[in-house]
């Protein structure tokens, strides 16, 4: 029976949705689990409705599986260009009463469904002060296309905890958007050593010829860790103008650099 249920899900058999919906409540847990998974694969409007109802009726180990399949329905709506309907599902699941992994997946869906407003959505999360969602939101920065302006997000850098600032600086570096350079440069002046070090690391990617003097200065006069990181970033800077700036700075450079 489980094999048949799995096959129906793999085939995306919409005619089986009603039957699968009843099997969610089967006394055999293996059958119930298979039915939930199959509905998540079918993910049509009727399957979505069935899973929405099951969200409020299931408990125990089955309920997280129902939520996961419900999320898959929302993801499918995004691929179909139905962002509004997908967001409605994500918003239902992005509530404090749901498990953290479910909320994290819902948040990712909300951010990626926001198109040009992804940065603002992340800012709203960061301002909400939710310690479970802050690292999730920051991690999503990497998935925002470079074509989107994230000034609103970089403007929040100084308002985050030290750990949050370090995480965001790493995410900005991974995103590799030169428009973030000024925010990273400002972070090199933080009064928190961990933030300064994270900013210096980010400049290995986001820096250019204009950041050579700063890195050279830190490489000569910073703390031991800062000197090491600054030298590493200098070595990794890219571009012919950067090479020219480094060469030009040799006569004035501190022997420690």
Task: Find out whether 70 and 48 touch, Cβ atoms under 8 Å.
Answer: yes
pLDDT band for position 247 (cuts 50, 70, 90): low
95 with 10, same domain: the answer is: yes
pLDDT score recorded for residue 242: 64
Q: Using alpha carbons, select from 102, 81, 82 the residue that is nearest to residue 92.
A: 102
87 with 122, same domain: the answer is: no
pLDDT score recorded for residue 109: 95
pLDDT at position 251 over 90: no
pLDDT at position 248 over 90: no
Span of 38-42, 223-227, 246-250 with lowest mean pLDDT: 246-250
Task: Find out whether 114 and 148 touch, Cβ atoms under 8 Å.
Answer: no
Give mean pLDDT, residues 79-95: 94
pLDDT at position 256 over 60: no
For residue 178, what is the domain's CATH number?
1.25.10
183 with 218, same domain: the answer is: no
pLDDT in tens, 95-146: 999 999 999 999 999 998 876 788 999 999 999 989 999 999 999 999 998 8
Give mean pLDDT, residues 154-182: 94
- As a whole number, the mean pLDDT across the chain is 91
8 with 109, same domain: the answer is: yes
166 with 213, same domain: the answer is: no
**Cβ atoms within 10 A of the Cβ of 84, count?**
9
pLDDT score recorded for residue 135: 95
157 with 221, same domain: the answer is: no
pLDDT score recorded for residue 240: 67
185 with 157, same domain: the answer is: yes
Last residue of a domain, one of 88, 113, 138: 113
For residue 60, what is the domain's CATH number?
1.25.10.10
Give mean pLDDT, residues 154-179: 94
pLDDT band for position 45 (cuts 50, 70, 90): very high
Residue 240 belongs to domain spanning: 207-257
142 with 51, same domain: the answer is: no
Domain count, the chain: 3
Query: Structure pTM?
Result: 0.83
45 with 71, same domain: the answer is: yes
Last residue of a domain, one of 113, 136, 167: 113
pLDDT score recorded for residue 154: 93
Tokens 């992340």 — which residue? 122
217 with 171, same domain: the answer is: no
pLDDT score recorded for residue 243: 56
pLDDT-above-90 percentage for the chain: 79
pLDDT score recorded for residue 112: 87
Last residue of a domain, one of 191, 206, 221: 206
145 with 213, same domain: the answer is: no
As to burial, measured by CB atoms within 10 angstroms (0-12 exposed, 13-18 middle, 19+ buried), residue 227 is: middle
pLDDT score recorded for residue 252: 54
96 with 2, same domain: the answer is: yes
């Amino acid at each position: 029976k489980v094999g048949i249920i799995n096959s129906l899900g793999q085939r995306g058999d919409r005619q089986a949705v009603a039957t699968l919906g009843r099997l969610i409540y089967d006394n055999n847990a293996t059958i119930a689990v298979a039915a939930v998974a199959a509905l998540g694969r079918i993910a049509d409007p009727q399957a979505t409705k069935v899973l929405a109802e099951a969200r409020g009726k299931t408990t125990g180990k089955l309920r997280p599986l129902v939520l996961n399949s419900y999320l898959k329905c929302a993801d499918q709506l995004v691929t179909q260009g139905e962002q509004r309907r997908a967001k409605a599902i994500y918003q239902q699941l992005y509530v404090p009463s749901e498990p953290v992994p479910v909320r994290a997946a819902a948040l990712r869906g909300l951010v990626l469904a926001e198109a040009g407003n992804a940065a603002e959505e992340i800012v709203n999360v960061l301002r909400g002060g939710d310690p479970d969602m802050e690292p999730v939101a920051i991690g999503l920065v990497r998935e925002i296309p470079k074509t989107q302006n994230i000034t609103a997000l970089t403007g929040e850098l100084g308002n985050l905890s030290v750990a949050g600032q370090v995480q965001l600086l790493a995410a900005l570096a991974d995103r590799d958007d030169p428009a973030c350079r000024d925010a990273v440069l400002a972070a090199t002046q933080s009064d928190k050593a961990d933030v300064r070090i994270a900013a210096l690391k980010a400049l290995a990617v986001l820096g250019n010829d204009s950041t050579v003097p700063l890195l050279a200065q830190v490489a000569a006069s910073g703390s031991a860790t800062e000197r090491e990181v600054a030298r590493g970033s200098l070595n990794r800077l890219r571009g012919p103008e950067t090479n020219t700036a480094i060469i030009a700075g040799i006569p004035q450079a501190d022997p420690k650099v």
